[in-house]
Amino acid sequence: MFGGHGKILRVNLSEGKVSQEDIPEDLFDKFLTGAGLATHYLFREVPKGAEPLGPENELILMTGALTGTIAPSTGRFNWVFKSPLTGIWAQSNSAGFWGVDFKKTGYDGIIFQGISPKPVYLVIEEDKADLRDASYLWGKSVPETTKLIKEELGEKFNVDCIGIAGENQVRYASIMNDLHRAAGRCGGGAVMGSKLLKAIAVCGTKPVNIANPTAFKEVSKKQFELLDQHMFKVALETFGTNVVIDLVNARGGFPTRNWQTCVFPELEEINAQALSEKVLIEPMGCFACPLRCGRRSEIRQGKYKGASGEGPEFESVGTLGGSCHVTDMEAITMAHYLCNDYGLDTISTGATIGFAIECYEKEILTKSDTDGLELRFGDPDIVIELIHKIAKREGFGDFLAEGTRRMAQKLDKGSERFAMNVKGLELPAYDSRAVQITGLAYAVANRGGDHVTAYIQGPTFLDIPFLCIPDSQIKDSLVADPEEVHILVDLENVMTALDTLGACKFMGFCVASDEWVELVAHCLGHDFTYDDLMRVGERAYNLARVFNVREGVTRADDTLPPRLLEEPLTEGPAAGKVNENLPAMLDKYYELRGWDKATGKPTPEKLKELGLEEYTA
């Protein structure tokens, strides 16, 4: 099979058995591996209503068709599962080098089933795989686990693992690879912990099968040459992902104090320049990445002096900094390091702490609830202390480990109005009142409130066209215009397709669509068009929606927190704005998607058009 090995591992943790099976050709033709193929297995094998932290849920790893090739930024891989945070379909994506090293073992994916009777980890060397006792690893941090496994197996092995947060089933625990890279969103680490699976260590040498290797190499080389001069590469390599923070703040869209305001007064203390001056050592890149947006960093002063790692990224600065109104870059960096060591999603962690602080301000929470802690915006020590408590599920941290939706449901007293999540997934660091179409993107995203399903911030905050999507510019970011909804739909499809290929979504800023489809055609050895690429993405996107509909998601769930719908911003360019016109935007979205307007369910006609008629909610 070109674009992969045509094989996946199936690991029955309950029985301690590891087997392999072939990927049916018709499924490869439909989904090109990636998250789409993983969702097929999830839909077929996880029964309706399955408990996310129970034995019926599956944890499914899948690489993409181009993962591990010489094409630029093709080191990404996906985890798909039913989320313990949201109770619906979940996908979490990561990069670094681990996914490539896994694919070199001769497999395209893994399906983990059941629950092990004791802690275990999986070792894959070439095409041989076995489960080993992980009792000595249980209770260890991500760096400690990685170090111990490498000492046992050798430095040639790469490690993907959970930390203490995953073991304790924090509902937004992440799965970590390459020490500092995170499959962060939706709580995959909690699912892994519930299965008593601590780690996956891989080592292999098998190359990806390419149908036309010479032509593939030529197109890849051309892409690298063009990317070397691209302004986006210069910006990311120089300042990392935090380069966008000044733009977002200038638009009045940087969530501050749990989204009570969206202009951060002390931005110069935490922006990209501050990060570079205070903690940056050098840029870092993932496999085959010319952009090098990662930051190798070290804290050089203050109480955390000497701590080192990778990051922080923009979203960490946005939630651990902005949402909590922390102006200390060293403290934000330390909070980010701790999340990586414990295996916590920085977005949900920062958002949950920010929500708790506002609840304390409004006297919905008291000192008796918070282990005697006085929660205040702007207090970095409180953020650090709460991260420790969350990961350990210690005292008040046990409550925070449940996420903002469950917290608000228990607290009541109006707290649900400012619990900043969609479908249970905490929102990232872009206020949709400042960019109206982002509100629709949050509302309809399959996994809940996230920013990368469509990357709609691109044509709004950065004014950069994506691939060859026609009319891809938002004319006025402060206007919710139903005539621009097609941009969101197209972006969802193409970004889902990039996940299927194992490509970084930043490539959507930089590489033309004709070159992507040319790469895929040379990889697979047959014609492949832009329409084919979009159809692969549309098919995977619709299948995830069908899974959600089966689990009870309706149009009523495609909404936003009341704060965004009813509380106008009070300052900045977006002052006076709420997320307006959402019902009309939804109507247009469903029309373009081919979904029923009353229920949000994909119609039988749409499923038949996509070759998905066999999947029924």
CATH of 7-203 among 3.40.50.1360, 3.60.9.10, 3.40.50.620, 3.40.50.300: 3.60.9.10
Tell me what pLDDT residue 456 has: 80
- The DSSP bridge partners found for residue 536 are none
The domain over range 436-559+581-609 is classified in CATH as 1.10.3720.10: no
C-alpha distances (whole Å) from 240 to each of 86, 285, 460 are 30, 10, 19
pLDDT tens by residue, 358-404? 999 999 999 999 999 999 999 999 999 999 999 999 999 999 999 99
Q: Are 7-203 and 254-421 the same fold in CATH? A: no
Instruction: Give the span between the Cα atoms of 517 and 443, in whole angstroms.
Output: 30
Q: What are the boundaries of each domain within the chain?
A: 7-203, 254-421, 436-559+581-609
pLDDT tens by residue, 437-472? 999 999 999 999 998 998 887 666 655 555 667 777
pLDDT tens by residue, 518-562? 999 999 999 999 999 999 999 999 999 999 999 999 999 999 999
Q: State the CB neighbour count (10 A cutoff) for residue 372.
A: 10
Mean pLDDT within 189-200: 99
For residue 568, is the peptide bond before it cis, meaning its omega torsion is within 30 degrees of 0?
Answer: no
pLDDT tens by residue, 251-285? 999 999 999 999 999 999 999 999 999 999 999 99
Instruction: Compute the mean pLDDT over every residue in the chain, rounded to the nearest whole number.
Output: 95
CB contact at 8 A, 425 and 376: no
Say yes or no to pLDDT of 53 above 70. yes
Write down the pTM of the prediction. Answer: 0.97
Instruction: Give the span between the Cα atoms of 90 and 163, in whole angstroms.
Output: 20
**73: region left, alpha or beta (phi > 0 left; psi from -120 to 50 alpha):** left
Tell me what pLDDT residue 162 has: 98
CB contact at 8 A, 563 and 59: no
Instruction: Give the span between the Cα atoms of 615 and 537, in whole angstroms.
Output: 16
Half-sphere exposure of 114 (CA within 13 A, CB side): 14
Both structure tokens of 536: 């692969």
Instruction: Give the span between the Cα atoms of 375 and 386, in whole angstroms.
Output: 10
Residue 228's pLDDT band, with cuts at 50, 70 and 90, is confident
Strands (E), 217-376: 280-284, 294-298, 308-310
Strands (E), 88-224: 89-94, 109-113, 120-125, 128-133, 158-161, 175-177, 181-183, 197-203
Tell me the CATH number for domain 254-421.
Answer: 1.10.569.10
Say yes or no to pLDDT of 126 above 90. yes
Instruction: Give the span between the Cα atoms of 257 and 267, in whole angstroms.
Output: 13
